[in-house]
């Protein structure tokens, strides 16, 4: 079983303090703070990293599902938008929107939509975030004119 890790360090109070997030691979390290998380301050935040993980996971899941259906994508570009809102329990991820554009030669648009929905459900991060109230998908097929060889 593969294990991935990341770490966080925080110093100070919630509103005046600051911290650093680090990926175990070493490819990213960034500052985070109350303003970067709950306002529009400079730095990253856990929700942004969840969005990056979800976009990456969905793109890979869609590629795998398309390949299994004998459709090889030329490109898949995905944006995940994580909404942080207030609930009775406190700050909560209330919604995630996945927007993807894919160029796939020779695929029927209806088949593409069905496979994209399958990828949303199959994506490991989608499954891990199943407690989020709403995860939506907007899937756009960019090109279908070329038939697959």
Give residue-wise pLDDT tens across range 79-117: 999 999 888 989 999 999 999 999 999 999 999 999 999
Domain membership flag for residue 73: yes
Arithmetic mean of pLDDT, 3-10? 95
Contact (Cβ atoms closer than 8 angstroms) between residue 80 and residue 54: yes
Residue with tokens 């925080």: 10
Residues 26 and 51 reside in one and the same domain: no
Residues 123 and 60 reside in one and the same domain: yes
CATH (domain of 50): 3.30.300.20
Provide the domain count of the chain. 2
pLDDT score of 130: 84
pLDDT score of 135: 86
Q: What is the largest CA-CA distance in the chain?
A: 59
Residues 31 and 57 reside in one and the same domain: no
pTM score over 0.95: no
Contact (Cβ atoms closer than 8 angstroms) between residue 18 and residue 41: no
Residue 148 has pLDDT above 50, yes or no: no
Residue 144 has pLDDT above 90, yes or no: no
pLDDT score of 146: 58
| Percent helix, percent strand, percent coil in the chain, to nearest 5 | 30, 35, 30
Residues 79 and 138 reside in one and the same domain: yes
Domain that includes residue 111, residue range: 46-143
């Amino acid at each position: 079983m593969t294990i991935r890790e990341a770490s966080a360090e925080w110093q100070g109070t919630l509103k005046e303090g600051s911290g650093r997030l680090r990926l175990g691979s070493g490819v990213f390290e960034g500052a985070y703070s109350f303003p970067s998380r709950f306002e529009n301050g400079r730095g990253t935040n856990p929700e942004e990293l969840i969005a990056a993980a979800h976009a990456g996971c969905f793109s890979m899941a869609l590629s795998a599902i398309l390949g299994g259906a004998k459709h090889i994508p030329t490109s898949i570009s995905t944006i995940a938008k994580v909404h942080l809102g207030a609930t009775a329990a406190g700050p909560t991820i209330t919604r995630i929107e996945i927007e993807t554009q894919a160029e796939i030669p020779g695929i029927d648009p209806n088949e593409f939509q069905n496979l994209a929905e399958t990828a949303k459900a199959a994506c490991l991060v989608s499954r891990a975030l199943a407690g989020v109230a709403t995860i939506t998908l907007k899937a756009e097929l960019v090109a279908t004119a070329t038939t697959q060889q």
